[in-house]
Amino acid sequence: MSASPEKPAHNPAEAAPPVPRHVAIIMDGNGRWAARRGLPRFEGHRRGMEALRNVVRIAGDLGIDYLTVYGFSSENWSRPAAEIADLMGLLRHFVRRDLADLHRNNVRVRIIGTDEGLAPDLVGLLAEAENLTRDNTALTLVVAFNYGARQEMARAARRLAADVAAGRLAVDDISVERFAKALDTADIPDPDLVIRTSGEQRMSNFLLWQAAYAELVFTPVLWPDFDRGAFEEALSEYQRRERRFGGLSSAIG
């Protein structure tokens, strides 16, 4: 009786599912979280900030290189003045309290968006966060603050138009790649995975250009409740998908 052929050695590294390099999150549901508990909206935003601290740590633990979070949109200015003041205050508190810890953990902070309409002290704090951490090499935390994707693309178009008008660029040289370099995210890879919490299923003017081929995961979990389990579940959903970038499925052959 002949011996059975040996099974090839199992290589855990080969079997490990891919971890997305860049995860972007639309942090939604703070207000509903508070309302369901009979609490003021501010408490929902405060708990949402705690969830952000936790998610930054988890992303680093999981080996994610870039984490982009939607902190404040261009459209959020339409909210009540008191709520806007609360959100700005929470951001100030986050930077003042967490910046040293982020820096100590080798986290690089990037801000995308515009400083139009922001208080000078807040602009200074955001610049300090970027400058202090610019040489860090672990997780890059990208905060989309006072950000809107349509507005970002309009800014990029104006930059390119100015270059054409000044003779620095020919119209025929405006390619997809050249346009991408004019965006706020010029040195940041496109997101592999976009997660939106709270059960809403829309992009809300977030990374519309960059997310062209991102996988989208919508979870019913409200942002203040988004913990390691919810994060890992979203990553598992991503890992079950086949990214084709416009090509054919490998199952077709």
List, as residue ranges, the binding site.
28-33, 41, 45, 73-75, 77, 79, 196, 202-204, 215
Which is it for strands 140-147 and 215-218: parallel, antiparallel or unpaired? unpaired
- Report CA-CA distances (Å) from 234 to 65, 143, 164, 239: 17, 20, 43, 9
Show contacts of 98-105: CB within 8 Å, 24+ apart.
98/53, 99/128, 99/129, 99/132, 99/133, 102/56, 102/129, 102/133, 102/141, 103/132, 103/133, 103/136, 105/60, 105/138
CA torsion 127-212-220-22 (nearest 10°) is -50
Annotated binding residues for substrate = 29-33, 41, 45, 73-75, 77, 79, 196, 202-204
Alpha helices (H) along 41-194: 41-62, 81-104, 120-133, 149-165, 176-181
141 close to 67: Cβ distance less than 8 angstroms: yes
- Catalytically active residues are 28, 76
Tell me how far apart the alpha carbons of residues 70 and 114 are, in angstroms, rounded to a whole number.
13
